[in-house]
Structure 1
Amino acid sequence: MQIFVPGKLMLSGEWCVLEKDLPCIVMAVNAGISIFIEPHNKYLFAAPDFEIATTEFNYTDNGEIHWQTPLNEIQQAQLNLSRKTMEISLRYLQTKSIALNHFSLTTSSKQTIVEKDDGKKYKIGLGSSAAIAVGIVSAIFQLHNIDIEKPQTQKVIFNIACIAHYLVQDKLGSGFDIAASVWGGVTYYKRFCAEWLTEQIEAGGIMSVLDKDWPGLHHETLNFPANLKLLVGFVGYSANTKKLIRSLSEFRENSSQEYMDKMREIAMVVDKVKQNILAQNNQEILKLLTQNRYLLRDMNQFSYRNLETTELALLADIAEGNNATGKFSGAGGGDCGIAIATNEEDSQTILRSWQESSIIPIDLELSSRGTRVELF
């Protein structure tokens, strides 16, 4: 059985979504990760894209996974999220009195990786780690005959993947990438209350929150205009999102008023983008996304963090010079940027100019569905 999980790109609301009650708009895309799972007489796990061959593991009576095949420190770190996600998923099934089945599970992330001419592979910023967490929960659930496209199941999948990601990433992040992978489409999103989640886990354990609605969490599907064209370009190097979040958090602590003022400005733009998506007002959407770009660029200047790098700025400038809008998508510092154009002629001009500037076009489309069983 194969599970497909879409990746994500941020349309609007970078950084402000980390703050309480502030939104973003995230897009699920048709490149993501695949999980292959089948019944087995042992527990086996493989991640060939990370050069991790089939690895046996045991699931203990106290709900922990231990690798039986020797792994070095780097490999153990690479599998930390997968291990945590499997632990929580299997423990959840036990709380529902569902008999556990052994399985062989393999992840494939090749759609979220670009190999350049020098032979090196780069993650391009489609939220592959979040998608892997979502995919692992989905695969284990589906193997145990739980329909992963039911709304209640989707909520639990989000909760498990989000907690696993949250704990492994030192309680950083907002979960917007997980939302895109679970529900698909174009989503207006606000993060959960992190303080509530931490308190609940400390008081009652992880299992106590998996079936609950989380305070503050909001996701709403938007009907993105079909005649707007999404263009995606990879600037040739990957960003370290975790490092960027920590760096901006340091700045936030020292300059909280300046930081929060800018976050609220970005949030106001996000809400206007939402209103104009609902109204299908294409030209206003483009103007607002350009405004979003320049608010993010302001952060470069007052925080001294290199979010809109030279290459990301060039990507956006080329878009703006051809009747479109462009901006980085996600944390910045590398990975992908996006352009939104209104016609095919401008789109092709932008793509050619990107290639001439050593920006790699990535052929992506919106994915209307989230995590799902892939039919052959």
Structure 2
Amino acid sequence: MIVAEAPGKLFVNGEYAVVEPGRHAVIVGVSRLIRASLRAASADEGSTVSSHQFGAQPVPVNIDGDLVSIDAPGADLVRECIRVLVQLAHERGIEPQPFALDIESELDDVSGRKFGLGSSGAVAVVTVRAVAEHFGINVGDDAVYRLASLATIELRPAASCADIATSTLGGWVHYASPDRLAARELRRRSGVEASLVEAWPGLVLETLPSPSSVVLHVGWTSAPASTAELVSTLHAGDWRSTEQYAAFLTESDRITAALVAAVRAERSELALAAIRDAEANLEALDELSGIGIRTEALSALIAAARSVGIPAKTSGAGGGDCGIALAPAHNEELDAAWRAAGIEVLDLHVVPHRRVGVREHG
């Protein structure tokens, strides 16, 4: 049995900016996981995929040449990940063998509440890792990121793929998004193998050391949000051609560079200053765009943290979901302030890199 795990993600800085090619972000992998278990299947059984999202029974995966189909609502991303790997296998002269793939999620709680931890990126990563291992395709982290990203941008060309980068590497990640349309065209023109070898302009995929000088705190507003809807609003805005938006992008990259330097140098005061600056920069973007990044609950989360001297900000697309704070140590006063403001404190920590990968169970 092949088992692949990948963590969910939270943005520390760079959300919205990283949607633009070449813009930078710092993201962390957190301690709720997606897990894929895969066993070899017989030719009579054929390939199947199971997930609570697809129903109670395994769903057939039909592979015909480079074409893959899965007749289940919500299975598009898994289908595209398998299709990328089938194409790569054929390019390498490998005949894909049948499999039974089961995908489980810890990113929601038992009642189905969604915390906004980036499940699609983690699903793509574990699917790629498990199926590649089964096909006998040796892939490192860079290739896992690229394969999962190729599948994702086939469906959502505007996706930053930052969640994929974080679910691939785990821990603290410094990421800059490539030109995804160029990556998609490279695959269509030259194939998957070429897409793993040729440069992706703008891409930065870097593991950062896990700092001991700061602790990540995560609060949930009890209101799920749709990243796709919020980002689509971003792309629809005429204000993207304004000087103010250019200033937002420049400031976001400056903050990310400062945060990366602070993490590497274990300078907690500089990391906390970066969070304060990031919160102000996102507020300026919200005022410019009218996207609705900061909800009333997220404003309460930020204000409660400030009341105890801790910088906090929205994380990811906003519009609900989570906010984060950085503190020099675990801060019980912050937790209490959040609870008093109606914010649920999530028991999350940054997942170290050794938790991420493929393992076999005999």
Tell me whether 1:349 sits opposite 2:333 in the alignment: yes
Instruction: Tell me the distance in 2 between the aligned counterparts of 1:24 and 1:166.
Output: 19
Instruction: Tell me the distance in 2 between the aligned counterparts of 1:275 and 1:39.
Output: 45
Change (3 A) 1:254 1:260: closer
- Which residue is 1:3 aligned to? 4
Tell me whether 1:80 sits opposite 2:65 in the alignment: no
How much has 1:105 moved relative to structure 2? 0.4
Q: State the one-letter code of the partner of 1:44.
A: T
- Which residue is 2:85 aligned to? 89
Tell me whether 1:179 sits opposite 2:175 in the alignment: no
Instruction: Tell me the distance in 1 between the aligned counterparts of 2:201 and 2:207.
Output: 19
TM-score under structure 1 length normalisation: 0.88
Residues 49 and 60, structure 2, Cα contact 8 Å, conserved in 1: yes
How much has 1:174 moved relative to structure 2? 1.6
Residues 38 and 102, structure 2, Cα contact 8 Å, conserved in 1: yes
Tell me whether 1:64 sits opposite 2:51 in the alignment: no
Tell me whether 1:373 sits opposite 2:355 in the alignment: no
2:100 aligned residue (104, 110, 127): 104
> What aligned pairs does 1:207-356 form with structure 2 within 5 A after superposition?
207-252=193-238, 255-344=241-330, 347-356=331-340
Change (3 A) 1:214 1:255: closer
In structure 2, list runs of 5 or more residues that go unmatched.
none
How much has 1:206 moved relative to structure 2? 4.5
How much has 1:57 moved relative to structure 2? 2.3
1:97-151: CA deviations, max 9, x gaps? Answer: 2232211001111x11135xxx5x2321111101101110100112234455xxx
- Which residue is 2:27 aligned to? 26
- What's the % identity of the aligned pairs? 24
1:158 aligned residue (141, 145, 159): 145
Instruction: Tell me the distance in 2 between the aligned counterparts of 1:201 and 1:276.
Output: 37
1:189-242: CA deviations, max 9, x gaps? Answer: 111123432442343345541333322211222223213111111111211111
1:293-324: CA deviations, max 9, x gaps? Answer: 01101122121121011111111222222232
Change (3 A) 1:288 1:252: farther
Q: State the one-letter code of the partner of 1:92.
A: L
1:9-54: CA deviations, max 9, x gaps? Answer: 1111111112233211111122120001111122011111554531
Q: Look up the SS of the partner of 1:114 in the other structure.
A: coil
How much has 1:375 moved relative to structure 2? 6.8
Cα RMSD, aligned residues only: 2.0
Residues 180 and 187, structure 1, Cα contact 8 Å, conserved in 2: yes
Q: State the one-letter code of the partner of 2:287.
A: Q
Instruction: Tell me the distance in 1 between the aligned counterparts of 2:114 and 2:197.
Output: 33
- Which residue is 1:123 aligned to? 114
Residues 49 and 108, structure 1, Cα contact 8 Å, conserved in 2: no
In structure 1, list runs of 5 or more residues that go unmatched.
none
Residues 32 and 348, structure 2, Cα contact 8 Å, conserved in 1: yes
192-201 or 24-33, larger mean C-alpha shift? 192-201
Instruction: Tell me the distance in 2 between the aligned counterparts of 1:190 and 1:159.
Output: 13
1:143 aligned residue (134, 144, 155): 134
223-232 or 245-254, larger mean C-alpha shift? 245-254
Instruction: Tell me the distance in 2 between the aligned counterparts of 1:319 and 1:325.
Output: 6
Q: Look up the SS of the partner of 2:225 in the other structure.
A: coil
1:149-203: CA deviations, max 9, x gaps? Answer: xxxx22221111001111112x012221111111222111111123432442343
Change (3 A) 1:143 1:238: same
Q: Look up the SS of the partner of 1:123 in the other structure.
A: coil
Instruction: Tell me the distance in 1 between the aligned counterparts of 2:30 and 2:138.
Output: 22
Residues 8 and 126, structure 1, Cα contact 8 Å, conserved in 2: yes
